[in-house]
Amino acid sequence: MQAGFSALDIVFLILLAVFIVSRFMGNQLPKDDKKSKKVVKFPEDVIKEVEKVQKEQKKKVSLKHLEGLSGVKLIEQADKDFKKKEFLSGAELAYQMYYDAINDKDEDTLEGMVAPRHFDEIMESVETLESENKKRFVLIEKIENVEIVEAKLHGRTAIIDVKYVAQQTDVIESEDLSEDDVEKAPSEVVSIWTWARSIDSEDLNWELERITLLS
């Protein structure tokens, strides 16, 4: 018997090894793509459907025919996603959420709710109190009323002023005091919160621009 392996033997062993490894890994041997015209790509109708949805999402509402409208009716026509009842429900929930975040020093929640300038003002106030070993507590006893007092467009940004009337306690105490230790009686607080949102944005969340205390 002739010693050693011929070139043909080596090729055979390589092919055998590839076959065994492929079967062991649970894969089939690759087919000759030259004999097939199939390629991996999105079907043409799927591509067209995606492009259609993208165009619909980016389509802007013309404001020319809205010149005679004002207030909530203007916002409803300019922003088809706007629903007054849903907006007011969200605004009421946001009132409690805002002050809970203040109490907990929850920067992530606040940053997601308020405009950058207002966020910086909040954090500056928190840092000032911390330097004095103090903190702020705002305890909401009851939200008595939530209503839209003004709604307008500034360019393509919807701006809505919401008036809140609430019974709440707002105190500044030492850092070691807990919410349960606050003994001050609640009082009526009336404030205007200004909310803003681009009417072209796919994000339905509103951003708190500022808070104006009336009493």
Q: For the beta carbon of residue 59, count every other beta carbon within 10 angstroms.
A: 9
Containing 193, the helix (H) or strand (E) segment is strand 187-198
End-to-end CA distance of the chain: 107
In this structure, are residues 162 and 146 in contact, taking their beta carbons and an 8 Å threshold? yes
- Is 60 a member of any domain? no
Quick one: what percent of the chain has pLDDT higher than 70? 69
- Cβ burial of 148 (10 Å; 0-12, 13-18, 19+) is middle
How confident is the model over 30-49, as a mean pLDDT? 42
Q: What is the CATH number of the domain that holds 116?
A: 3.10.450.240
pLDDT tens across 154-181, in order?
Answer: 999 999 999 999 999 998 888 776 666 6
178 vs 113, more confident? 113
- Is 59 a member of any domain? no
| Predicted local confidence at residue 43, as pLDDT | 43
The number of distinct structural domains making up the chain is: 1
* The residue to which tokens 């300038």 are assigned: 117
Q: Find the domain containing 161 and state its range.
A: 70-213
pLDDT tens across 118-146, in order?
Answer: 999 999 999 999 999 998 889 999 999 99
- The pair of three-digit structure tokens given for residue 13, joined into one six-digit string: 């062993």
- Is 128 a member of any domain? yes
Containing 211, the helix (H) or strand (E) segment is strand 207-213
pLDDT band at 33 (very low <50, low <70, confident <90, very high): very low
122 conformational bin, left if phi > 0, alpha if psi -120 to 50, beta if neither: alpha
- Is 35 a member of any domain? no
Q: State the pTM of this model.
A: 0.70
Contact residues for 58 (Cβ-Cβ < 8 A; gap 6+): 200
- Cβ burial of 110 (10 Å; 0-12, 13-18, 19+) is buried
For 70-156, list the strands marked E by DSSP. Answer: 134-154
| Predicted local confidence at residue 186, as pLDDT | 92
- Is 63 a member of any domain? no
Q: Mean of the per-residue pLDDT values for the chain?
A: 80
- Is 165 a member of any domain? yes
- Is 57 a member of any domain? no
- Is 37 a member of any domain? no
pLDDT tens across 169-212, in order?
Answer: 998 888 776 666 666 789 999 999 999 999 999 888 999 999 99
